[in-house]
């Protein structure tokens, strides 16, 4: 596109499109705030009571909403709250990590109904797609017939350019085969469910926005620490993908490194650094990825990693808030809750010691979804694309 070309505005919608948008709006409102009657929905959406009533009847008939018990007020007819039917839609979510992959099946309440895990030294395509194919069969078998019929898609969350991490992972030369992988073509061999692929950290941010503490903030920066740290950006209560779907690439931010020179955040606050330190001590690095997680034996190595990561995160938080006036910075990762709490507390302390002139310091807060965020965000993507406002 010519750099001087004026871009067209987004097209309008016809009446059918308007109705579909209003259905998505109402579903999104109930998902975010919980069950509510039509009168409350009409107030919040500026839609007429008749329009809301018609849409609620349709969504109930289509299996997306459940009718609650009538609630009688002081005057008038009792109101009937409408709630999301958790089995109105289900989806699979696959997180492809550098040391492990998780497959979940999730409902509209964000409840993980089943989950499988595979660990490895490095991920290879044949192994991953075999795990996915067999895992979908196993997880589907535990669903009710109605739940099976309401499966709506599969989301895959993976690092951008996963093939570029071969050297760090100690993978063989043919690891670069990931560059040629067509996810849609591979899945078409064993399923016709719609597919959505997404950056793993963006997926984690999406899970936090839908099911975690993200609903408490309009705008925030989000850090998720896995083998490598990544991030997400939320503005006006919406996850920002970016034109090239690479918004929130916070791992590339420059921060002071241990030796004083600047390094990317991913080389200062990622779990691969803790893994390397544990390996140098002869410790069992596999314990980092096994479930349930028990990091109580990591001692000084963990203490040092938390201290270094907190310093780096504080600098990163300051940097992102120089660009956007975020209300908060949320931190999560593939680690036990106690580790997250320590990391958040130390990041707050480190940020308070930095030069914040000209800035309003953001709140440093613990996210709530936890290590499953990437898989849950992947599972949320096809549901969001089909039924909710995004």
CA distance 56 to 66: 10
pLDDT of residue 181: 93
CA distance 339 to 302: 9
Helix, strand and coil content of the chain, in percent to the nearest 5, comes to 45, 20, 35
Residue-by-residue DSSP string for 191-223: --S-EEEEEHHHHHHHHHHHHSGGGG-SSEEEE
CA distance 198 to 156: 6
> Residue 49 is encoded by which pair of tokens?
């009571």
> Residue 183 is encoded by which pair of tokens?
């996810």
Encode the chain (390 residues) as per-residue pLDDT tens digits. Answer: 444 554 444 444 445 456 689 999 999 999 989 999 999 999 999 999 999 999 999 999 999 999 998 887 656 677 899 999 999 999 999 999 888 899 999 999 999 999 999 988 889 999 999 999 999 999 999 999 999 999 999 999 998 888 877 777 777 878 889 999 999 999 999 999 999 999 999 999 999 999 999 999 999 999 999 989 999 999 998 999 888 888 899 999 999 988 778 999 999 999 999 999 999 999 999 889 888 899 999 999 999 999 999 999 999 999 999 999 999 999 999 999 999 999 999 999 999 999 999 999 999 999 999 999 999 999 999 999 999 987
Q: Do domains 87-203+375-387 and 213-368 have the same CATH topology?
A: yes
> What is the three-class DSSP state of 10?
coil
Number of separate helices (H) and strands (E) present in the chain: 12, 14
To which CATH superfamily is domain 213-368 assigned?
ATPase, nucleotide binding domain (3.30.420.40)
Other Cβ atoms within 10 Å of 358 Cβ, number: 6
Q: What is the dihedral of CA 137, 139, 145, 150, to 10 degrees?
A: -100
Among 223, 182, 217, which Cα is nearest to 202's? 223
293 φ/ψ sector (left φ>0, alpha ψ -120 to 50, else beta): beta
pLDDT of residue 289: 86
CA distances, 311 to each of 136, 201, 255, 342 (Å): 41, 21, 9, 13
**Class level of CATH domain 15-84:** mainly alpha
Contact 122, 130 (CB under 8 A): no
pLDDT of residue 57: 96
Task: Tell me the torsion sign for CA atoms 80, 86, 90, 96.
Answer: positive
Kind and range of the H or E run holding 299:
helix 299-323
The yes/no answer on whether domain 87-203+375-387 falls in CATH 3.20.20.70 is: no
pLDDT of residue 128: 96
> Residue 226 is encoded by which pair of tokens?
């896995």
User: Residue ranges of the domains in the chain?
Assistant: 15-84, 87-203+375-387, 213-368
């Amino acid at each position: 596109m010519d750099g001087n070309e004026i871009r067209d505005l987004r097209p309008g919608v016809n009446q059918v499109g308007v109705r579909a948008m209003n259905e998505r709006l109402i579903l999104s409102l109930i998902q975010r705030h919980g069950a509510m009657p039509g009168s409350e929905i009409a107030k919040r959406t500026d839609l007429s009571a008749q329009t809301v009533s018609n849409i609620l009847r349709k969504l109930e008939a289509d299996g997306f909403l459940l009718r609650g018990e009538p609630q009688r007020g002081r005057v008038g007819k009792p109101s009937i709250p409408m709630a999301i039917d958790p089995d109105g839609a289900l989806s699979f979510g696959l997180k492809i990590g550098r040391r492990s992959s998780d497959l979940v099946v999730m409902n509209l309440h964000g409840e993980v109904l089943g989950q499988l895990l595979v660990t490895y030294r490095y991920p290879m395509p044949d192994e991953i797609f075999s795990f996915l194919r067999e895992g979908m069969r196993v997880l589907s078998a535990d669903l009710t017939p109605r739940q099976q019929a309401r499966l709506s898609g599969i989301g895959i969350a993976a690092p951008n350019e996963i093939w570029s991490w071969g050297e760090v992972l100690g993978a063989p030369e043919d690891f670069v085969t990931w560059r040629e992988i067509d996810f849609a073509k591979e899945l078409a061999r064993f399923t016709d469910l719609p597919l959505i692929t997404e950056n793993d950290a963006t997926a984690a941010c999406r899970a936090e926005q839908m099911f975690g503490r993200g609903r408490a903030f309009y705008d925030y920066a989000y850090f998720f620490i896995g083998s490598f740290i990544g991030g997400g950006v939320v503005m006006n209560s919406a996850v920002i993908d970016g034109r090239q779907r690479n918004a929130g690439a916070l791992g590339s931010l420059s921060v002071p490194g241990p030796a004083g020179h600047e390094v990317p955040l991913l080389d200062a606050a990622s779990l691969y650094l803790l893994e390397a330190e544990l390996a140098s001590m002869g410790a069992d690095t596999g314990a980092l990825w096994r479930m349930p997680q028990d990091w109580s034996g990591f001692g000084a190595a963990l203490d040092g990693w938390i201290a270094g990561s907190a310093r780096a995160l504080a600098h990163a938080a300051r940097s992102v808030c120089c660009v956007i006036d975020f209300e908060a910075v949320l931190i999560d990762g593939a680690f036990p809750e106690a580790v997250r709490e320590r990391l958040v507390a130390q990041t707050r302390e480190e940020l308070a010691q930095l030069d914040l002139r000209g800035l309003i310091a953001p709140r440093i807060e613990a996210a709530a979804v936890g290590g499953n965020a990437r898989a849950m965000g992947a599972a949320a993507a096809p549901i969001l694309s089909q039924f909710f406002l995004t």
